[in-house]
């Protein structure tokens, strides 16, 4: 790697690659989505550019807001075509302290196309019992609070897609509730607030020189919640590949589309570095 902030020294992969069950497609997501068969994807997990001025390697994240929302709507139409009738579309997005509306505006741009079945809050850092757990980017302001969460919008075609809520559930605190409410096991729905620790990052190299990667546990939870073990997973804004890493770990086939060949190459390297799957997962 070069010095912090410099792009990786390895040559980018300009061509599509398949590693294990995962395929990385390089190119514009609208173009590459048109190549996929209709209704061929079970789960979409993705995080598009936020249009808040993040320092991507090659993408301008500070464009005109109306044009950006038009692009989100176009991507939504393309995703609706490839998503199976009973599929799930999980979209991770966040605003900033000074621009909190962007997440809601993105959701509104997709409202004509999908039903918002669940609105999940991903807590990256939380202060509890006198201490802070997790990581966030601090801001120096007398007006705004530090931003320690992001949105995960769960869209479906009908709003009635059954989920495996217990796959991402938690044990009961009060064990008497197991029998009282007729549960088969010590497991309950964990709700729509997910604490997934965002680890402290000291240099851009630690996150593959991408300004906003999400932890692998986030797409893992989304895939498990959808509940289909042999799911075909898609991430049209792949970045450095966390969604495909999650899909491979869970024994699912995955497709990722990434505009920037440098990030696509990083995703391929991550997939190539994965340990073989355990027999019970494969």
- Written as six digits, the tokens of 156 are 């479906």
DSSP helix/strand/coil, 277: coil
Inside any domain, residue 240: no
The pLDDT-based confidence of 1 (bands split at 50, 70, 90) is very low
- Mean pLDDT value of segment 198-209: 53
d(CA 58, CA 36): 25
Inside any domain, residue 193: yes
Q: Which of 224, 123, 116, 121 is nearest to 166 (CA)?
A: 224
Inside any domain, residue 255: no
DSSP helix/strand/coil, 206: helix
> What total number of domains does the chain contain?
1
Inside any domain, residue 152: yes
Inside any domain, residue 242: no
The pLDDT-based confidence of 183 (bands split at 50, 70, 90) is confident
Which CATH number is 154's domain given?
3.40.50.150
Query: Using one digit for the tens of pLDDT, what is the confidence trace for 56-88?
Result: 555 565 678 899 999 999 999 999 999 999 999
The model carries a pTM of 0.86
State the number of CA atoms in the 13 A half-sphere of 62 facing the CB: 4
Inside any domain, residue 88: yes
Query: Using one digit for the tens of pLDDT, what is the confidence trace for 3-62?
Result: 333 444 444 556 899 999 999 999 999 999 999 999 999 999 999 987 755 555 555 656
- Mean pLDDT value of segment 202-211: 47
More confident residue, 138 or 238: 238
More confident residue, 280 or 173: 173
Inside any domain, residue 117: yes
Please answer whether residues 16 and 25 qualify as being in contact, where contact means their C-beta atoms are separated by less than 8 angstroms: yes
Query: Using one digit for the tens of pLDDT, what is the confidence trace for 105-136?
Result: 999 999 999 999 999 999 998 988 888 888 77
Inside any domain, residue 33: no
Residue 227 has a pLDDT of 95
Q: In sequence order, what are the beta bridge partners of 55?
A: 60
d(CA 152, CA 89): 10
Q: In sequence order, what are the beta bridge partners of 151?
A: 93, 121
Give the domain extent around 197.
Answer: 38-228
Locus of tokens 């994807």: 41
d(CA 172, CA 236): 37
């Amino acid at each position: 790697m070069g010095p912090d902030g410099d792009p990786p020294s390895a040559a980018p992969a300009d061509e599509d690659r398949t590693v294990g069950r995962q395929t990385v497609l390089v190119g514009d997501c609208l173009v590459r989505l048109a190549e996929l068969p209709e209704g061929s994807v079970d789960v979409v997990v993705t995080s598009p550019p936020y249009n808040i001025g993040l320092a991507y390697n090659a993408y301008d994240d500070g464009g005109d807001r109306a044009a950006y929302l038009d692009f989100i709507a176009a991507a939504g139409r393309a995703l609706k075509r490839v998503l199976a009738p009973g599929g799930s579309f999980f979209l991770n997005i966040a605003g900033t302290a000074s621009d909190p509306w962007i997440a809601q505006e993105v959701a509104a741009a997709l409202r004509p196309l999908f039903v918002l079945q669940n609105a999940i809050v991903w807590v990256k850092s939380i202060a509890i019992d006198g201490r802070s757990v997790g990581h966030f980017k601090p801001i120096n302001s007398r007006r705004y609070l530090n931003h320690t969460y992001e949105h995960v919008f769960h869209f479906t075609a009908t709003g009635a897609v059954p989920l495996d809520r217990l796959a991402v559930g938690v044990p009961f605190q009060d064990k008497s509730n197991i029998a009282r409410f007729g549960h088969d096991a010590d497991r309950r729905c964990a709700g729509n607030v997910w604490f997934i620790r965002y680890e402290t990052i000291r240099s851009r190299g630690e996150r593959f020189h991408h300004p906003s990667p999400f932890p692998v546990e986030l797409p893992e939870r989304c895939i498990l919640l959808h509940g289909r073990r042999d799911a075909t997973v898609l991430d049209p804004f792949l970045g450095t590949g966390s969604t495909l890493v999650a899909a491979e770990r869970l024994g699912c086939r995955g497709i990722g589309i990434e505009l920037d060949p440098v990030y696509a190459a990083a995703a391929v390297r991550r997939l190539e570095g994965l340990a073989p799957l355990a027999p019970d997962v494969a």
